[in-house]
Structure 1
Amino acid sequence: MAINNQLTHKRIRIRIPRDYHQEPVISRLVSDFGLTVNIAAAILGANAVGDGWFDLDLQGTNQQIQNGLTYLKDLELEIWDGTNVGIW
């Protein structure tokens, strides 16, 4: 069985609750899961008031992307991946 190391992209949108504003959520996608993360758009309230929204383009192997998504799900963040209704 061949291991697929081909790089792929996945576009997602995540909601970062105010409680997570001081956590390096996006940085961990890079350092812990080896992903390249491009922030395509972001909304973050001044003085960390309210939730933040990030449109991210993730680049990595399918396994790296799946591991990163599992990490985000384990944090119980809202994630939209384009299959959800009403996405950007």
Structure 2
Amino acid sequence: MLAHNTTESQFEAIDDFHKTQESDIPKSENGDSRPTQTRIRIRVPKEYHQEPVISNLISEYGLTVNFNAAFLGVKTLEDGWFDLELNGTSQQIESALIYLNDLDVEIWSNSNKPDEETW
């Protein structure tokens, strides 16, 4: 995946979600079902414009998704960029991040500073 310029942002690219360190994955204590949240930024490739990628985060993984920012033009041939807040259990969030990774969606996470806006 492409590298992200971290001098402009505190978000760090997650190159292969399956290989991330356990501390990088948002989890509730003891793996229970208490709600948690994480903020991510993603790049959805143009070939997925007609696919319900973000809708699947809600319908397939049971997450609540809040859009902090989005960049996607009408009838554009460019990739879409989204700044999202994901709310759900740690297992739901982990499964959704695996789904995004399997689609080859670039994912950046800023679990240390979720309220910082840099766009």
Taking structure 2 as the reference length, what is the TM-score of the superposition? Answer: 0.66
Higher strand share: 1
Shift of 1:54: 0.4
In the TM superposition, 1:9-24 aligns within 5 A as 9-24=37-52
State the distance in 2 between where 1:51 and 1:45 align: 9
Q: Give me the CA root mean square deviation.
A: 1.7
State the distance in 1 between where 2:44 and 2:33 align: 30
Instruction: Report if the CA contact (8 A) 1:44-1:53 is conserved.
Output: yes
Shift of 1:7: 0.4
Match of 1:80 in 2: 108
Structure 1 window deviating more from structure 2 (3-12 vs 70-79): it is 3-12
Match of 2:15 in 1: none
Shift of 1:3: 5.2
After the TM superposition, list the runs of 4 or more consecutive aligned residues in structure 1 that deviate by more than 2 angstroms.
none
Matched length: 84
Percent of residue pairs identical: 55
Taking structure 1 as the reference length, what is the TM-score of the superposition? Answer: 0.88
2:75 alignment partner, SS class:
helix
Match of 1:62 in 2: 90
Match of 2:66 in 1: 38
Code of the aligned partner of 1:50: E
Structure 1's unaligned 5+ residue stretches are none
State the distance in 2 between where 1:21 and 1:39 align: 17
Structure 2's unaligned 5+ residue stretches are 1-29, 112-116
Instruction: Report if the CA contact (8 A) 2:70-2:82 is conserved.
Output: yes
2:84 alignment partner, SS class:
strand
